Amino acid sequence: MRRRGRARACVAVVFAMVTASMVSSLHRAQGDEVVVAPTHESLARFAREAVVVVQNEAPAEAATYAGDEVPAAIYARETAVIVGEERCEAFRRTTSEGRRPAAAGLFNTGTNLLWKLLHKNCAMPRECASFARRRRMHDESVAYEARRGTGECSPFLTQVPWGKHNPVSWRGSHYAEMMRRVNVSEVLPVAVVKDPLTWFASMCRMEYAAKFRHGQAQCCPSPLNRTQTQVRWRKERPAQDYASIAHLWSQWNSAYLDYSGPRLVVRYEDLLWRTRETVSRVCVCAGGVPAAPSNFDVISSSAKGGAGHGFADTSRASATAKYSNETKRYQFLRDADLNYLNDHVDARLLDTFGYAATVDRRRQLYGDAPPCRPSRTAYLEALGLKPSARGPVPIDDQSDGVLANGVFYRNPNKKILPFSIRNYNNAKHHPPR
């Protein structure tokens, strides 16, 4: 009975906080902009979410929840690193109930993971009903919500309207598919930044639209100063050139750091180790109610889906094991690469997000020995391939094939993939020879 009484008291407090938050959104002045008042139905729905959060909460003294893991030493901070929270209150005050957080980030930075975490763990006002709330996330439910965007409800956004990988300077001048009717002023961009050293390695495995010189492919990204990069963000727009893959990382992320409007910048590493804290803070910033710790879904399976994302295992367990290994972080990099990185990237990014990369540390891990000796076999294995008399083929004999850097390596013992799937991959196909 005592615990039930405390729960009722907590419900009352949470209800009052939610009510105050939503009412406060009415008191804003934005010229002649129309203010959409929260409806009784949306307020009641928010209150029900708050009740569920409290009722499902376990006693504090026994709480150990998924998503609260201790970060790897190389990324350890007292709390998750989130840039831009000082702008949250103004964003909530100057927007309606239709406001939404939306993911942004370079390729291979965890944007799919972020939007899925938010979708499953952040209840927003005036939500559109979708299959996803019933734990059945799929493309059809996302498209369904997008079509509902002009009705009484507001859809969940899988990405910023200008395209999650596109530069922030495209805001308002370009709209991704089914996003043209989304009001960009109601969108809170949440950009994901990733450790440049591990991001380079990810790009070497799967470069997507960023085509760059790999030098000795087996030792990618070294030499870093020879990784001239060209990105065609959209087919209808001219390609953009960067002096190196490091310049791409620096310039794209610095633009979000310098953006003057409401925005958050979060670390990919915090999505792995401080998952619940990071997602909850983003959710609250956008005006939502985060899931209770005992109900929080950390997305243990791979966040990426479809053949177009390549071979590598991207599950939560695989990622935490990979990115906690500091030796692998410096793999294939020489002293000259680290010097080049520190000379040419925005130092604010390295300092703010704790991505220090030093020659001294590399030498402690590797000594004076070269970190990479070119080996074609090792390079193929890193892509999920093995040599054969017919050319590279998948290591997994049960696989239909492996997509690596825009080339599809087919399993010669399997039937050719249907044309529709091959066309979806948008890749050059490499038949065994």
Average pLDDT by stretches of 10, the chain with 433 residues: 44 41 37 34 42 38 60 91 98 96 98 95 84 48 56 84 97 90 95 98 92 82 95 94 98 98 98 96 98 92 48 71 93 94 98 97 87 79 85 86 80 69 46 37
Cα within 13 Å of Cα(353), Cβ side: 28
pLDDT of residue 293: 93
pLDDT of residue 180: 86
Rounded to whole angstroms, the maximal C-alpha distance in the chain is 74
Instruction: Give the count of beta carbons closer than 10 Å to the beta carbon of residue 429.
Output: 14
Phi, psi values for residue 223, rounded to 5°? -80, 130
- Token pair in block for residue 58: 């376990």
Q: In b/e form, how buried is each residue of 6-18, taking b as 16+ CB within 10 angstroms?
A: eeeebbeebbeeb
Q: CB-based contacts of 380: which residues, under 8 Å, 6+ apart?
A: 386, 387, 392
* φ/ψ bin of 287: left (φ > 0), alpha (ψ from -120 to 50), beta (otherwise): left
End-to-end Cα distance, the chain? 74
Give the model confidence (pLDDT) of 17-62 as tens digits: 444 444 343 333 333 333 333 333 443 444 444 434 433 343 333 3
pLDDT of residue 41: 44
Q: What angle do CA 243, 248, 249 make, to 5 degrees?
A: 135
Phi, psi values for residue 64, rounded to 5°? -140, 110
Give the model confidence (pLDDT) of 178-212 as tens digits: 888 899 999 999 999 999 999 999 999 889 999 99
Measured distance CA(290)–CA(118) in Å, rounded: 9
Q: Please give the sequence-ordered ranges of beta strands (E in DSSP) within 160-249, or none if there are none.
A: 187-193, 210-212, 229-231, 240-242
Residue 412, preceding peptide bond in cis (omega within 30° of 0): no
pLDDT of residue 27: 37
pLDDT of residue 66: 67
Q: Let me know: does 123 contact 53? Beta carbons within 8 Å.
A: no
Instruction: Give the count of beta carbons closer than 10 Å to the beta carbon of residue 216.
Output: 14
Residue in the structure block whose two tokens are 């009510």: 19
CA distances from 108 to 57, 203, 303, 309, 409 (A): 34, 7, 11, 9, 21
Cα within 13 Å of Cα(6), Cβ side: 6
Measured distance CA(203)–CA(220) in Å, rounded: 9
Q: What is the CA radius of gyration of the chain?
A: 23
Residue 125, preceding peptide bond in cis (omega within 30° of 0): no
Measured distance CA(166)–CA(173) in Å, rounded: 11
Q: What is the DSSP letter of 165?
A: T
Q: How far from chain centre, in Å, is Cα 227?
A: 24
Measured distance CA(193)–CA(202) in Å, rounded: 13
- Token pair in block for residue 412: 């010669």
Measured distance CA(433)–CA(371) in Å, rounded: 32
Q: Let me know: does 282 contact 118? Beta carbons within 8 Å.
A: yes
Measured distance CA(153)–CA(125) in Å, rounded: 9
Q: Let me know: does 263 contact 189? Beta carbons within 8 Å.
A: yes
pLDDT of residue 35: 31
Residue in the structure block whose two tokens are 């959060």: 53
AA identity, residue 84: G
pLDDT of residue 240: 97
Q: What is the pTM of this model?
A: 0.74
- Token pair in block for residue 35: 């203010």
Phi, psi values for residue 408, rounded to 5°? -100, 115
Is the C-alpha dihedral spanning 271, 158, 309, 245 positive or negative? Answer: negative
Instruction: Give the count of beta carbons closer than 10 Å to the beta carbon of residue 232.
Output: 13
- Nearest Cα neighbor of 251 from 344, 112, 114 is 344
- Token pair in block for residue 191: 């950009």
